[in-house]
């Protein structure tokens, strides 16, 4: 448990005790913060209280308020809090940023005490019952302060994110919305479109759905009302992403319908190479992207004691520095498994040769 920041509010009010609001309550309670909750649905508050996420907020003064409602409702809830004068600062958790800010301006909100924010975490199932105290652990919590936002409001929001175990990052509302269109909003749409194909199949053919289909359509279980609010709140960037993917799918279909075998192969390979290149850019853990330019070497290990120790001793004797190590892939009852080792890229090929010469079964992982 990290030492709490002096900026961490000691009493936080949460508007909306769904999945995100209740999870923030659970995380803040664990960090010793007093949490008050309210929701238009009394059942959700009752559940959140029973789970230990805080107690009912009946208008008491708080140091910071978290507006944990769908995007379209942020400005009105913020305005109501400010008119009641019961919080020093506020943040929100909405998955779109530009439009709620514009709506807050129109609604006459005080922009100085509000830090627009968005924790990148969620589950397909919403509601207080799905809340988890560690939902934000090592997740990104985006802060999009405007030019009006005071440093005190930013500091309180950042301290709150850290207290929930998240990694705060800052960007502008426009950049946030464009990135989320590509990274979250379009994937959500596509997941629903893929899942919508199954009613056209015969019942027995649904057995042909493998794990890949289940993973690709997991997001389709999400709440339609919430996602209507998100997509409607980020029209331009989502439309641009949808048109990009539609154009690519159309071009692929044209090639599949008309092109030569070689041309189809080229179109597919190009598409997949771009996808693979895109995947390699993702940070290997949430947080700042880190280049990890290791060479990976795989080695088969028998199921005998001391095999890995012998391998690492050999590498040490050769003065080959081990940079990282993968999981030991080993099926139950199989006589052998595979371990993968990361070394400096310029020594990987040589290491494979030396290991094979020394009687190991090694290979270069591409």
In the bound state with its own copies, the residue whose beta carbon lies nearer, of 284 and 313, is 284
Q: In what order do the strands lie in the sheet with 87-92?
A: 55-56, 34-38, 11-15, 62-67, 87-92, 114-115
What angle separates helix 307-317 from helix 345-357, to the nearest 10 degrees? Answer: 120
In the bound state with its own copies, the residue whose beta carbon lies nearer, of 56 and 194, is 194
CB of 84 to its own copies, least distance (A): 28
What gap in Å lies between CA 21 and CA 261, rounded to an integer? 53
Question: Which of helix, strand or coil describes residue 52?
Answer: coil
In the bound state with its own copies, the residue whose beta carbon lies nearer, of 318 and 363, is 363
CB of 272 to its own copies, least distance (A): 4
CB of 110 to its own copies, least distance (A): 26
What gap in Å lies between CA 28 and CA 183, rounded to an integer? 28
Enter the tokens of residue 17: 């005790």
Between the two ends of the chain, the Cα-to-Cα distance in Å is 39
CB of 57 to its own copies, least distance (A): 18
In the bound state with its own copies, the residue whose beta carbon lies nearer, of 10 and 214, is 214
CB of 319 to its own copies, least distance (A): 26
In the bound state with its own copies, the residue whose beta carbon lies nearer, of 246 and 322, is 246
Question: Which of helix, strand or coil describes residue 252?
Answer: helix
In the bound state with its own copies, the residue whose beta carbon lies nearer, of 85 and 335, is 335
What gap in Å lies between CA 50 and CA 27, rounded to an integer? 15
CB of 336 to its own copies, least distance (A): 5
């Amino acid at each position: 448990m990290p030492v709490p920041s002096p900026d961490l509010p000691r009493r936080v009010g949460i508007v909306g005790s769904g999945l995100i609001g209740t999870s923030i309550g659970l995380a803040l309670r664990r960090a010793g913060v007093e949490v008050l909750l309210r929701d238009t649905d009394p059942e959700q508050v009752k559940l959140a209280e029973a789970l230990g996420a805080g107690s009912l907020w009946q208008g008491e003064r708080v140091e910071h308020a978290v507006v944990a409602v769908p995007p379209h409702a942020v400005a009105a809830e913020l305005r109501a809090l400010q008119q009641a004068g019961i919080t020093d600062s506020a943040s929100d958790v909405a998955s779109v940023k530009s439009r709620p800010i514009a709506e807050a301006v129109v609604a006459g909100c005080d922009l100085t005490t509000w830090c627009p924010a968005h924790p990148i975490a969620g589950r397909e199932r919403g509601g207080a019952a799905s809340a988890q105290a560690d939902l934000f652990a090592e997740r990104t919590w985006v802060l999009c302060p405007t030019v009006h936002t005071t440093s005190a409001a930013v500091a309180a929001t950042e301290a709150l994110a850290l207290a929930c175990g998240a990694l705060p990052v800052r960007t502008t509302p426009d950049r946030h919305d464009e990135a989320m269109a590509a990274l979250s909003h379009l994937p959500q749409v596509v997941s629903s479109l893929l899942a919508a194909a199954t009613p056209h199949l015969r019942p027995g053919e649904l057995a042909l759905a493998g794990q890949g289909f289940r993973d690709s359509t997991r997001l389709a279980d999400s709440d339609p009302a919430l996602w209507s609010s998100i997509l409607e709140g980020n029209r331009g960037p989502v439309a641009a992403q949808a048109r990009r993917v539609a154009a690519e799918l159309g071009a692929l279909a044209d090639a599949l319908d008309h092109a030569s075998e070689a041309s189809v192969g080229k179109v597919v390979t190009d598409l997949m190479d771009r996808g693979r290149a895109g995947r390699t850019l993702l940070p290997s853990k949430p947080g700042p992207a880190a280049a990890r330019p290791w060479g990976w070497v795989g080695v088969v290990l028998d199921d005998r004691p001391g095999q890995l120790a012998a391998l690492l001793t050999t590498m040490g004797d050769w003065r080959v520095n081990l940079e990282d190590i993968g999981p030991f892939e080993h099926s139950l009852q199989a006589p052998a498994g595979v371990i993968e080792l990361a070394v400096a890229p310029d020594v990987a090929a040589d290491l494979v040769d030396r290991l094979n010469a020394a009687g190991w079964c090694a290979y270069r992982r591409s």
